[in-house]
Chain A
Amino acid sequence: MDNIIDQRFERVEKALATLITSISTYNPSISHANDLVAADTELSQGLEQLSAHQSNYAKILALRAESEDLDAQIKDKLTLLTTTRKELLAASSTNFTSKANAVDVAEILSYASRSSKFTRPATFREVEAQSNPDTGDGGTNTPKEPGSQSQTNGTSTPITGINGVDKDTQMTQGTVTNLESATPAAELPSQATNQSSQTALPEHWLSLISPEAHMPFVPWPSEDTIRRGALASIEILINQGKDPATFDPEKSAELEADRKRIQEEEDMAREAERLKREEEARRRMERRASEIGAAPAVRQEAKPAAFSLDMLDDEEDDD
């Protein structure tokens, strides 16, 4: 490349020199000038070529560097792969006994999260081996002594005609969703000597959010829970005389809605009647009072006044 440029330069110089000599010898020749122009254009072309050459060279260098970089990356990845493989093979794996019951991990986790509400007290804390295991659950909010079982009395008589027992809460699902917000710190392993559960909700919030949090925990359904269950609702049905085999809760919901509507209408009718009666009684009283008093003119005034009073009273009654 350099040679080419040098040649071009030389040509330019020569042409220039010949032109100058020809001018100095008072023999200007146009051909010499044309030579000079040609040499100059050749020179500029050479320069363009030079710049192209240089940019290409730079590109080549850059690409070379990039390829080396990528090569290095590939090498790194390969070494990483081999070391990881070695580690994997070296890691100890569990040896499954032949009698193992193949259970899906997700299933186990979901079961554990569902049943943990019912198998351990909500504020139970695992204790480190050093500390006294008896004070391990000292951090609980509710006392867990067995004597507090007196709430669930032994002789629970069968439910006869308990009104308003709702049919929902089925123990099978265990979806008491309000418990989830009650004790967020339930299963965390604590620092050994953490007596008061600092991460649990404050007492008054806890009692508002979840009434169950204050009842003593038992690892079985409490009497309340049983009374809210399906068996209890079936018993109610039987006591009401309906046949559970043909009972359809959806249809019954419609019937319930109808019944409520009819009852509400009756109530409103009764209210209207009562109000009318009261108005009449009041008017009668007012008339009597005004008769005892003054002239009929006053009575006319008293009547509108009585009306306005009545209106006010009605509004009060509507409260």
Chain B
Amino acid sequence: MTSPPPIPPEPKFGGFTRFEIELEFVQSLASPTYLNHLASQKYLEEPAFVAYLKYLQYWTQPPYLKYLMYPGPTLKHLELLQQERFRREIIDPGVMMALMTEGSKAAMEWPGS
């Protein structure tokens, strides 16, 4: 009976697996303040970064979806970030505040009683 091939050890970056790092990054996108910070550092204008954001959409599908601890804002912001208009506007602190108020309110009221 041949045993299945041994699973290669997962490569770690800085002591963390790629899964952990990407999960952490995609969830930190849930924070409007972080989005604003990224925009101010001009990351959102780099095509490589935009392509990475597009790639990160795999978190919207199972079986990755179940690992999100902050699912609401994460998925919402991920989707918004795919649109260029949003990437341009999020640098504005007013837009950021609006996102924050909206998010906090939604956390209180959803799913509604």
Contacts and interface: CB of A to CB of B under 8 A. Distances in A.
Interface of A: 101, 107, 111, 114-115, 117-121, 124, 126-129, 133, 136-137, 144, 146, 149, 152-156, 158, 167, 170-172, 174, 217-223, 226, 229-231, 233-234, 237, 244-245, 247-249, 252
Given A226-B28, A230-B24, A247-B14, A221 B37 contact: no
Interface in B43-58: none
The 9 A-B pairs with the shortest beta carbon distances in the complex, nearest first, are A244-B14, A220-B30, A249-B15, A219-B107, A234-B14, A146-B101, A220-B31, A230-B16, A174-B69
A156 B33 contact: yes
A121 B107 contact: yes
Contact of A220 (B16, B25, B66, B70): B70
Contacts of B33: 152-154, 156, 223
A226 B15 contact: no
B71 to A, nearest CB: 7
Contacts of B70: 115, 118-119, 219-221
Interface string B77-113: 0000000000000000100110011011111110001
Contact of A219 (B14, B36, B73): B73
A255 to B, nearest CB: 13
Given A156-B34, A218-B31, A245 B104 contact: no
A234 B16 contact: yes
Nearest to A152: B33
Given A221-B28, A234-B14, A126 B104 contact: no
B41 interface: yes
A222 B67 contact: no
B77 to A, nearest CB: 8
A117 B107 CA distance: 12
Contact of B25 (A155, A223, A231, A233): A231
**Which of A119, A154, A174, A234 counts the most chain B CB atoms within 10 A?**
A154
A170 B113 contact: no
Contacts of A115: 68-71
Nearest to B41: A158
Contacts of A244: 13-15
B15 A247 contact: yes
Interface in B1-51: 11-16, 19-21, 23-25, 27-28, 30-34, 36-37, 40-41
A149 B104 CA distance: 9
B14 A120 contact: no
Nearest to A222: B31
Nearest to B102: A146
Contacts of A252: 15
Nearest to A229: B24
Contacts of A107: 66
Given A154-B36, A172-B20, A219 B72 contact: yes
Given A119-B70, A149-B104, A220-B74, 18 more contacts: A111-B66, A115-B69, A117-B69, A146-B105, A149-B100, A152-B31, A154-B37, A155-B36, A171-B23, A171-B24, A174-B69, A218-B100, A220-B30, A220-B103, A230-B20, A247-B13, A247-B14, A252-B15
7 contacts: A118-B70, A121-B107, A133-B109, A154-B33, A230-B24, A248-B12, A252-B15
Nearest to A128: B113
B113 A156 contact: no
B16 A118 contact: no
Nearest to B71: A115
B15 A167 contact: yes
